[in-house]
Amino acid sequence: MDKRRASVSCVLRTHEIDNSGLWKQVASQGVPLLAAPMRLEVEAAGKNYTAQGSKVTFTEIEADRVQGHAAWRTGPVRGRTDFSIEYDGVAKLSLRLEPAKERVDALRLVIPLRTGEAWLMHPVTDLLRFHYAGRIPDGSGTLWDYSGRTNAVRYTQTGKPDADGKVWDSRHVGRNQLPAPFVPYIWLGGTERGICWFAENDRDWNLDPQRPALEIRRQGEATSLIVHLFTRPTSLTRPRTLTFGLMATPAKPMPETPVNFRRWFPGPQVTNTEQVVNFGFMGACYYWGAAGPCYAFYPAFKNFSVYDEFARLRKGGTADLAYTENWLKQFQSTEFTSRLNEHGYPPNLVTYRNHINWSLRFFDKGAWSSQPEKGRTGWVIPYTNARAVNWGEEAETFMDEWSSLDIADPRWPGEERFVRAKDGVCRLAAYGKVSIPGDTAGIAYAVDPLPSWQNMVLHYEKRMMETFADGIYYDDFFLSPNYTPTGPGYVAEDGTLRPGVNIFGFRELARRTAVMQHRMGRRPLLFIHMTNANLIPLLSFGTIILDHEWRDQGEFKDKDCQERLYLDGDTSLLLAQSTGLQSGCLSVWHNLFHDDERITRSALGVSLTHEIKCGLWYGPLQERTTALLANFGYGLPDCRIWRYWDAGQPVKTEGAPARAIVLARAGRALLAVASYGSGGEISLSLDLETLGVPANAVARNAETGEPVERVAEGRFRLLLPRHDFRLIAVGTP
């Protein structure tokens, strides 16, 4: 904190605050991001004004938070900016407008970023899977819908930058039930850093539904995000408070403990690897004894003996499947046994047996115990759902508070699950009818993490971590309209109920979980599923993010990864992820619905060349690639790495379209080369001196040991099948 310069620093970032309370400059990783100070602009009576203030006052300076305010005036409008900046870099700003006699025709926030630092973008509304990520368009672009189908759009009349430099606006952003034109989140930046703007609702704004809330304008060295707060004439007859947030990214450095993040591998420990982390995911509540798949935070009947059994096995105990049969004896009510499947068995009990048996085998004989003498760390991460609750005793008291559904008691048998639309008509929510209350029933994806809900969740998650778990998985951090008028919804001036999205609730859940783990003496370990809603203020206290649970069924089922994500010719979708968290993807991305190694290899090639962790169902391919990367020294301090978007590339590819990541260590190199096009012959040109590899170096396929054709010193040639990859080892003959 530097009061004289009005600057606030946190991990990786420094914020300079101007006399209007906005950011004069922000630097991330030592690089300035703004081309000019942020500004608040007003149009009134045919004139344009910019807010001017005289002084910034800091009212609170603590280890984890700084607060302050600044008064300003812009034309006929007087106001004050109240701001806070938290220790992960999230800033919350409230523009407090005083009543004014003169009508305001427009009010907007302008955030001018340096063009060289802002060529990627990621806007997010509600739900998931259709949020664009990639290059900032140049007046036109391609979007996709929930099913993955594409749609060409124009953001300007000509499809090219207009006279004001506009290249994009938010009229075409995908949305589900969140009313237009409000957009709660957008990030602009590059592969390493950027800035996001966000808001929970548009309370006290005044937006024309036919005009965009957000625009991007590119004018030479400045690429500006325009946030429209008033887009139609507004009389300031009362005080107004407009609240939003800002955050420069990444949120933190990539993890270095217990080893560098590049040495974290999904799946069980692989023989002959050292100085590695292996993490295993228990992918449903069933696996740790719950009676439902994705609602619970404690095992069925609160019988925690299953946790003790897992703890025994983690310490080296031998699994006995007779334990499962004893466990099943508690499921005697007709709720579990009245219906039989085609084989004459209650399907619930079959499901419970299969999952508990899987877990016993998973933990058997200390399979996930850490081995400090070999530098191996094992992490077990159980599934929980950040948007759910089962119908337990807690729900009897709190469900009306926790539920985002607009009915008095969403558990009432036979009631549909509704949300109230603007016109007062109730519409069916996405997940159908609420089940009759019982131990197997619950509500998924219709709960927001309010403080009392967080208290319940943390109480039970602590029990997991005290016995068998190393971290917590949360499914699924995306935004959903919540009409609750106490927040984030609100009652508009015309009396209608308007929704908001619970950004700060999810953020606080992640923060409290990480703090709890830290206070337990554990490394904070949160595995957060976000399915392409890369909302960095919500995720900043996480450790690993899980993406790409999409485009794996229907017409996409037999397509490979590049086809599913339209990566041929443009991989920018995978670059718009400047977070500071380890990025990962689900096995559902490539082979859950059929075992096709072609699809698996395409996904792994994409993952390798973008440093994404790729779940592979722990098969031979995963073991083979893990061993090759770990034993080469990937992620060790002396291993140099060039990603294909980095400057100073020591390897060039020619021929068929391909991307590569290059590792160099101790006189050797390892290349992961993936196809992003038709496939065919690839020529590799290596800068041997930069790589530190001898002039007589040869290359071989690291998976098979087969030689790669050497055509000259530092030049090699190979055939690369369409959307496949090759690991190529380069070194002395």
The alpha carbon of residue 242 and the mean position of all alpha carbons in its chain are separated, in whole angstroms, by 26
Tell me: pLDDT of 410 over 70: no
| The listed CATH number (2.40.37.10, 2.102.10.10, 3.30.300.30, 2.60.40.1180) that belongs to domain 640-731 | 2.60.40.1180
- Tell me the percentage of the chain whose pLDDT exceeds 90: 77
Question: Confidence class of residue 430 from pLDDT cuts 50, 70 and 90?
Answer: very low
Among the ranges given (148-152, 195-199, 707-711), the one the predictor scored with the smallest mean pLDDT: 148-152
Q: Average pLDDT, stretch 48-66?
A: 96
Task: List the structure tokens of 224.
Answer: 């500006």
Give domain limits for the chain. 7-249, 283-368, 388-447, 640-731
Place of tokens 């927040």: 487
Angle at 94 between CA 92 and CA 100, to 5 degrees: 170
Task: List the structure tokens of 230.
Answer: 């008033």
Task: List the structure tokens of 15.
Answer: 């914020």
Question: Confidence class of residue 442 from pLDDT cuts 50, 70 and 90?
Answer: confident
Among the ranges given (346-350, 455-459, 569-573, 646-650), the one the predictor scored with the smallest mean pLDDT: 346-350
Residue 584 · residue 547 · CB < 8 Å = yes
Q: What is the largest CA-CA distance in the chain?
A: 83
Say what the pLDDT of residue 592 is: 65
Say what the pLDDT of residue 434 is: 38
Nearest Cα to Cα of residue 197 among 1, 34, 424: 34
If you ran DSSP here, which 8-state letter would residue 2 be given? B
* Length of the chain in terms of residues written: 733
Task: List the structure tokens of 345.
Answer: 């068995």
Task: List the structure tokens of 119.
Answer: 């060529």
Q: What is the pLDDT of residues 215-271, one digit of tens each?
A: 999 999 999 999 999 999 999 999 999 999 999 999 999 999 999 999 999 999 898
Q: What is the pLDDT of residues 295-339, one digit of tens each?
A: 899 999 999 999 999 999 999 999 999 999 999 999 888 777 777
Question: Confidence class of residue 414 from pLDDT cuts 50, 70 and 90?
Answer: very low
Place of tokens 């079959």: 350
User: Rounded to 5 degrees, what are φ and ψ at 50?
Assistant: -125, 135
Rounded to whole angstroms, the Cα distance separating 22 from 702 reads 53
Mean pLDDT of the chain: 92
The DSSP H or E segment spanning 391 is none
Q: No. of H helices and E strands in the chain?
A: 12, 44
Question: Confidence class of residue 399 from pLDDT cuts 50, 70 and 90?
Answer: confident
Architecture of domain 7-249: Distorted Sandwich (2.70)
Say what the pLDDT of residue 497 is: 84
Q: What is the pLDDT of residues 134-193, one digit of tens each?
A: 999 999 999 999 888 999 999 999 999 999 999 999 999 999 989 999 999 999 999 999
**Model pTM?**
0.94
Q: What is the 3-state secondary structure (H, E, C) of 295-325?
A: CCCCCHHHCCHHHHHHHHHHCCCCCCCHHHH
Task: List the structure tokens of 267.
Answer: 């799946």
Residue type, 206: N
